[in-house]
Amino acid sequence: MIPEFPALKNKWHTAQDFKMNSLMETPELPAVFDGVKLAAVAAVLYIIVRCLNLKSPTAPPDLIYQDTPLSRFLLKSCSLLTKEYIPPLIWGKSGHIQTALYGKMGRVRSPHPYGLRKYLTMSDGATATFDLFEPLAENCIREDITMVICPGIANHSEKQYIRTFVDYSQKNGYRCAVLNHLGALPTIELTSPRMFTYGCTWEFGAMVNYIRKTYPQSKLVVVGFSLGGNIVCKYLGENQTNQEGVLCCVSVCQGYSALRAQETFMQWDQCRRFYNFLMADNLKKIILSHRKFHGYSTLKEYYEQESCLHYLQKIFVPLLLVNAADDPLVHDSLLSIPKALSEKRENVMFVLPLHGGHLGFFEGAVLFPEPLTWMDKLVVQYANAICQWEKNKSQCSDTEQSSGQE
C-alpha cells in the first residue's frame, strides 16, 4: 500500500486549481480592456458633441419686429429671414470655431477687389483713409447707391471678410466706401497722437461727407461690423442731418454697450476673458503709443459715452440689427438691448440666428465652408429689399401727384 502525504496532496490540488482558474479568467481580460476603450471613446465622443454643439438644431433666425407694411415687405423679399441658416455640419454649430476661423482665416478663397485709396486730413492733423470701389453691375433699381462700410475692431479694407463682402456688393450694383480705422493699416503712419476708438465717429463722418459731395445723387446704405456697428449707429443718432440720404442701416455682431460688455469680458463664461486677452494683445502695440481717452476723465465715462446705446432711439431710417446667439464675444445680457428696441420701434428689426459666432456665419455642407457667408448674402438682400421698397414708395407718390393734377 502506498502511503498518503496530505500536505503534498493539498499543495498539488492548490496548484492545479490556480492553473485552472487562471485559464478560466484569461479570456475575460480582453473584454475588460475593450470596455475601458469603449468608455474612453464614448467620453471623447461626448466631449466632441458638446464642444461642437452637434445636437443643436438648425432653424430660421429668431425675428423681433413690429407688424408694419415695411416689415411684411421685408419678410416677403428677404428669403434668408425666414429660411434655415445651415452652417457646416461638422463644426459650424460651434460659435467658438466659427469665431476662430473668422479671426484666423477670414474667408475662403477671398477675392481681391480693385479700389482707390482716399486720404482725408482731419482738423486735428490726423489722416483718415478709406478705399473706394465702383460697382461692377447695375443694382436692382438701377440707381446710384453707395454702401458706406465701417469694419470691426482694428480692421480695414484689406481684411478678407471685408474683401468678400465688397466684391459681392459690387457685383450687386453697389459702390462701396470702406473706412480704414485710424492706426489699423500698417502702411499708413499716424499723423496725430490718437488712434481709432470704440465710438469715435469723426473719420466715418468725414468719409460719408466725401461721398455726399462727390456723388450728390447717390443714396447711402450704412453698414457696420462688430465695433463698426457701434460707430455707424452712434453716427446716425448723433445728429438728425446725418440720416439725410440714408436708405437704411445694418449692424452685425455689435455689443451695443461698451460699459456692460466690459463687465462681461472679465468673466470666464464662454471663454470670454480669454477672447478679451487676445483682442487686447492684438491692440497693445498701437495703444502703447497713444494713451489718450479723447478728453474723458474716467474709463467708465469713456465706455458710457462712446456706446451707441444712447443714440439708437434717435435713428429713424430702417435699421437691421444682427447678432448670433452663440457669439462668444457678445454676452446674452447685451441682446436685451436690440430686443427691447425692436419691440418698440417700427423701423427696427432684430435678427438672431442660433449659430454664426462672431462675424463667422459660414455656410457649407459638411466640412468645407463656402466663400460667401450667410451674413454677406443677408446684408445685400436686405439692402436690395429696402431699395425696392423706396422705389415703390416713390412711384406711388408720383402716381398720386399725377392723378391729383388731372
Per-residue pLDDT of 327-366, as tens digits, reads 998 999 999 999 999 999 999 999 999 999 999 999 988 8
36 inside domain: no
Domain of 221, CATH number, reads 3.40.50.1820
Give yes or no for residue 164 having a pLDDT over 70. yes
361 inside domain: yes
Residue labelled with grid coordinates 422705389:
391
Please give, one letter per residue, the 3-state secondary structure of the chain: CCCCCHHHHHHHHHHHHHHHHHHHHCCHHHHHHHHHHHHHHHHHHHHHHHHHCCCCCCCCCEEEECCCHHHHHHHHHCHHHCCCCCCCCCCCCCHHHHHHHHHHCCCCCCCCCCCEEEEEECCCCCEEEEEEECCCCCCCCCCCEEEEEECCCCCCCCCHHHHHHHHHHHHCCCEEEEEECCCCCCCCCCCCCCCCCCCCCHHHHHHHHHHHHHCCCCEEEEEEECHHHHHHHHHHHHCHHHHCCEEEEEEECCCCCHHHHHHHCCCCHHHHHHHHHHHHHHHHHHHHHCCCCCCCCCHHHHHHHHCHHHCHHHCCCCEEEECCCCCCCCCHHHHHHHHHHHHHCCCEEEEECCCCCCCCCCCCCCCCCCCCCHHHHHHHHHHHHHHHHHHHHHHHHHHHHHHHHC
Pick from 219, 245, 233: nearest CA to 308: 233
Q: Which residues are catalytic?
A: 226, 327, 358
Residue of 245 and 258 predicted with greater confidence: 245
pLDDT for res 157 = 97
Q: Which three cell numbers stand for residue 189?
A: 503712419
pLDDT for res 290 = 46
343 inside domain: yes
**How many angstroms separate the CA atoms of 304 and 294, rounded?**
13
**How many angstroms separate the CA atoms of 162 and 149, rounded?**
9
Mean pLDDT of 125-153: 97
196 inside domain: yes
Give yes or no for residue 282 having a pLDDT over 60. no
Give yes or no for residue 294 having a pLDDT over 90. no
Residue of 10 and 309 predicted with greater confidence: 309
**How many angstroms separate the CA atoms of 99 and 270, rounded?**
12
Give yes or no for residue 272 having a pLDDT over 60. no
**Confidence category of residue 396, pLDDT binned at 50, 70, 90:** confident
Angle at 277 between CA 334 and CA 371, to 5 degrees: 70
**How many angstroms separate the CA atoms of 248 and 315, rounded?**
10
pLDDT for res 23 = 46
Per-residue pLDDT of 167-204, as tens digits, reads 999 999 999 999 999 999 989 989 998 889 889 999 99
Domain count for the chain, please give it.
1
pLDDT for res 102 = 86
The sign of the dihedral angle between the CA atoms of 36, 41, 45, 48 is positive
pLDDT for res 301 = 83
337 inside domain: yes
**How many angstroms separate the CA atoms of 395 and 404, rounded?**
14
Give yes or no for residue 18 having a pLDDT over 50. no
CB atoms near residue 244 (< 10 Å): 10
- Quote the pTM value: 0.83
Residue of 78 and 269 predicted with greater confidence: 78
Query: Residue 123's domain spans which residues?
Result: 54-291+311-391
Mean pLDDT of 217-227: 97
pLDDT for res 295 = 64
Pick from 112, 130, 134: nearest CA to 122: 130
182 inside domain: yes
**Confidence category of residue 279, pLDDT binned at 50, 70, 90:** low
Q: Which three cell numbers stand for residue 140?
A: 436692382
**Confidence category of residue 8, pLDDT binned at 50, 70, 90:** very low
The sign of the dihedral angle between the CA atoms of 168, 174, 175, 179 is negative
Any bridge partners for residue 249, and if so which? 222, 319
**How many angstroms separate the CA atoms of 306 and 153, rounded?**
14
Lowest mean pLDDT among 159-163, 212-216, 262-266: 262-266
pLDDT for res 357 = 94
**How many angstroms separate the CA atoms of 182 and 186, rounded?**
10
Side chain identity, residue 191: T
Average pLDDT, rounded, for the chain: 85
**How many angstroms separate the CA atoms of 303 and 259, rounded?**
5
13 inside domain: no
Pick from 198, 203, 118, 200: nearest CA to 154: 198
Give yes or no for residue 148 having a pLDDT over 90. yes
203 inside domain: yes
pLDDT for res 287 = 55
**Cα(first)–Cα(last) distance of the chain, in Å?**
143
Q: In percent, how much of the chain has pLDDT > 90?
A: 60
Lowest mean pLDDT among 97-106, 148-157, 353-362: 97-106
